Amino acid sequence: MVDQWSGDIAFLLDQFQSLETEAGSSFEGKLDLERVGVYGHSTGGGAAIQFCGTDPRCKAVLGMDPFMRPVSAEVITNGVSQPAFFMFSQNWADDTDSKSNQFFNQFYPNASNGLGVISIDGTAHFDFSDLPLLSPIAPQLGLKGPLNGKRVTEITNAYLVDFFELTLQKTPTSLFDGDFTQFEEVHKMK
C-alpha cells in the first residue's frame, strides 16, 4: 500500500506540474512545485517517507506514528536527505518492541537532515486524526488517549505549521530551537 500511495503522490505532483505549465490553465504560473512538503499519519506517514526517500521533488517530510513495516528496505537503509521530523503518540512511543518502531530506529539515523523525534504524553495512535474530535466514544473504544482532543490538535498543528515554515519558507520558528519544551506534554525522543 505504501508503494501505491507514494505513486499517488508522484502522480498528483505530475498533474500539478501539467496544470502549472498548461497555457490558459487556472493554475498557470501559480504553483510553487519547488517547495513540496509531504506529511502523513500511520500508513500515510510510511507513504510520505517512501515518497521522499525516492523522489527528489519532496523537500521536507513529517510523519506522525509512521507505519514503517511496508517502507522499502532501500529507504530504511538509506534514509531521506530532506529535512525530516516525526511525532509519536505516547502509546506508539512506548511500544518499543513493535516491528514498526524497530524499522524506524534503523531508518532515523540514516535521515541525514533529521530535525527531531517527539512524543506527546496522553495520546494514542488515532489522536493524530480527527476521530477524537468527532466521536465522543473514542476514549471508551481505546481510540484516543486521555489528553483532550483539542489540545492534541493544537500541539500537532503547531508542529506541522512550524516545521513547514522552517523547511519550506526558511522562516525561523521557536518550536524548532532544539529542546521542544514549549508544550509540557511534548518530550524529545531523538
Selection from 53, 58, 143 nearest residue 103 by Cα? 53
- Portion of the chain with pLDDT greater than 90, in percent: 79
| CATH number of the domain where residue 91 is located | 3.40.50.1820
Which residues are bridge partners to 116 per DSSP?
A: 85
Banded pLDDT at 178 (limits 50, 70, 90):
low
Tally of domains within the chain: 1
Average pLDDT of the chain to the nearest whole number: 93
List, for residues 100-138, the tens digit of each pLDDT value. Answer: 999 999 999 999 999 999 999 999 999 999 887 888 888
Q: Is the pLDDT of residue 14 over 70?
A: yes
Cα(136)–Cα(116) distance, rounded to whole angstroms?
Answer: 32
Return the percent helix, strand and coil in the chain, to nearest 5.
Answer: 45, 15, 40
Banded pLDDT at 140 (limits 50, 70, 90):
confident
Residue 168's domain spans which residues? 1-188
Pairing assessment for the beta strands 186-188 and 114-120 based on DSSP bridges: antiparallel
